[in-house]
Amino acid sequence: MCSLALFPPPLPYGQTTVCESNNELLSGSSTEDQLKQDFSPPSLSFPRESLKLHSRTENSSKAAFLDHSETLWMRSAAAWRDGGLTGLLNEITNSHPHVPKWLSMSSGCILALLRWVSSFHGSLFPHLTLSSEDMIAEFSQVLNWSDCVVRAFAWHPHTDKFAVALLDDSIKIYNPKSATTPTLKHRLQRNVAVVQWKPLCASALAVGCQNCLLVWHVDPCSLSTRPSAGCAHVLSHPGHAPVTSIAWSPSGSLLLSASPMDTAMMVWDVAAESCVPLQRVGGGGVTFLSWSPDGSHVLASTPSALFRVWETRMWTCERWPCIKGRCQSGCWSPDGSRLLFTVQGETVIYALTFTNTPAVPSGTSKGPHAAVVVADLSETTFNTPDGDIVVGGEIQSLAWDPRGERLAVLLKGDPRAADRSPIIAVFKTRVRPIFELLPCGFVQGEPGAEPRLMQFHPNFRHGALLTVCWSSGRITHVPFYFLSASIPRLGPSGSPTLPHVQERPADFANQSLFTELIS
């Protein structure tokens, strides 16, 4: 098993990770040290002060403006519209002098009964008592989401453009080949939890937010910097909010969305604006989705200690109960055969192996029987010239590069201890012929900046490119230069690359840390 003790120590204070070259991570004291590259996506910075934030939500302004001299009927209708049954009952109970006593009494009783039932329900699934903003923060893949300037980030699967969702609920699209930077704003686009581009399409961007799901069509040839709200399709389903995770099928035909409030996972046919709910009781909701790159499986985790792996041909699922906590994050190997996942409250990475024998229909494919621990990330103390540094602990998110050779792990750290800030640990991985996990190093930013969110570029030609969004509002890109040892893969997500020279790093043999035993 691989552990953090085998990692090279973190960089001294003031140094930042620049890139990986010749099998080691290079560091520099400032960002000018970056190597000359033939492709360099823009490093961006969004200082918190530059954003115009909402000072008031819609709910708080309501009391100041609502005309209380309206008739009871009007108020009841408004309450029904805004707050549903509970709102209506509340309104009737509170407008005491205007309604008969028996009515306000009975509605008060019904309200109390409803609250009692919902508190009982809430005691079974404690997350249901959270507000939608807290819920997104709790289940997001972004560390400390509510305080984050960059709330979501997505590379386009085929080109070099990317979308950035900011704290002020706007989304900006950057394209190195174009001078225009479209900004997407919509009335319903509030508290963006996740963004993702549609595969096999140039323009469609799905956005999961507090009340609904939006699909923007951003014409790549348009010169407009503010696409109108007409470019966005709103997809919503009663009870399916807030949306905390979305996943496009790699073939670009379907979109999945998940909400911790809804036990059903939605399969959207976006063009037809129709959805099929895939309902499974147990778990109390769906928090995180990840579609395997070959399109055959989907990981769906729930707020309880249970996650499911769906197969996408007949949409049946396997239940995977965890012992300690809920599944926090997960990622798939490029061929879809291996799933790595982490569990809340544990400091290890588990692996599941799926074998898809092509001879039988995939509906009958046999899954694995138990998960294997492949890496232990428990706390480790490094002796550095600056003093002892403690690294390790719970894991916030996982990211695996599209070739399956680098695995980035965002460690939560401990917000109460100063010397244990969040950090990104990177592993070297191999999927074939056997699964191997080796240490690579830590990725660190400028002093004081904590990593919040990370994603690999989907088709970086010279290895892997990790994009990291920092707490300071900066977005930087860390390239890992290597020659790919894997066989070029043909998949829907990228064009076939020419075969690389098979090169095997010299120190692989004597430093193997997790090596699968072939039985």
Q: Which helix (H) or strand (E) holds 119?
A: helix 101-124
Q: In angstroms, rounded to a whole number, what is the distance separating the alpha carbons of residues 458 and 463?
A: 11
Report which residue type is found at 139.
F
- Point out which span in 55-63, 282-290, 309-317, 392-400 binds other proteins (CB under 8 A): 309-317
Taking phi first (over 0 means left), then psi (-120 to 50 degrees means alpha), and beta for anything else, what does residue 345 get?
left
Q: In angstroms, rounded to a whole number, what is the distance separating the alpha carbons of residues 258 and 246?
A: 6
46 closest CA partner among 476, 477, 474 = 474
| Smaller CB separation from other proteins, 155 or 341 | 155
Q: Interface residues for other proteins in 176-205 (CB under 8 A)?
A: 200-202
Q: In angstroms, rounded to a whole number, what is the distance separating the alpha carbons of residues 360 and 364?
A: 7
182 closest CA partner among 226, 217, 141 = 226
Contact call for residue 313 and other proteins (CB under 8 A): yes
| Smaller CB separation from other proteins, 6 or 490 | 490
Q: Interface residues for other proteins in 358-417 (CB under 8 A)?
A: 358-359, 361-362
Burial class (CB in 10 A: 0-12, 13-18, 19+), 45: middle
Q: Which of 314, 373, 483, 487 binds other proteins (CB under 8 A)?
A: 314
Q: Which of 35, 66, 103, 271 binds other proteins (CB under 8 A)?
A: 271
| Smaller CB separation from other proteins, 8 or 277 | 277
Taking a C-beta distance cutoff of 8 angstroms, is the pair 410, 427 a contact?
no
- Point out which span in 21-29, 46-54, 271-279, 461-469 binds other proteins (CB under 8 A): 271-279
Report which residue type is found at 350.
Y
- Cβ-Cβ contacts under 8 Å for 503 (sequence gap 6 or more): 483, 485
111 closest CA partner among 130, 131, 85 = 85
- With both helix axes pointing from N to C terminus, report the angle between 72-94 and 101-124 in degrees, rounded to the nearest 10: 70
Q: How many residues bind other proteins (CB under 8 A)?
A: 36
x/- site string to other proteins, residues 63 to 102, per CB under 8 A?
A: ----------------------------------------
**What minimum distance in Å lies between the beta carbon of 437 and other proteins?**
29
Report which residue type is found at 105.
M
**What minimum distance in Å lies between the beta carbon of 405 and other proteins?**
21
DSSP 501: P
Contact call for residue 111 and other proteins (CB under 8 A): no
Q: In angstroms, rounded to a whole number, what is the distance separating the alpha carbons of residues 406 and 399?
A: 8
Contact call for residue 253 and other proteins (CB under 8 A): yes
Contact call for residue 492 and other proteins (CB under 8 A): yes
x/- site string to other proteins, residues 330 to 359, per CB under 8 A?
A: ----------------------------xx
Q: Interface residues for other proteins in 144-173 (CB under 8 A)?
A: 156, 158-159
x/- site string to other proteins, residues 213 to 242, per CB under 8 A?
A: -------xx---------------------
What are the distances in angstroms from CA 353 to CA 130, 291, 297, 309, 314? 35, 15, 12, 12, 20
**What minimum distance in Å lies between the beta carbon of 95 and other proteins?**
27
DSSP 46: -
| Smaller CB separation from other proteins, 358 or 387 | 358
- Point out which span in 37-45, 277-285, 435-443, 474-482 binds other proteins (CB under 8 A): 277-285
Contact call for residue 490 and other proteins (CB under 8 A): yes
Residues interacting with other proteins, by CB under 8 A? Answer: 156, 158-159, 200-202, 220-221, 251-254, 267, 269-274, 276-279, 313-316, 358-359, 361-362, 490, 492, 494-496
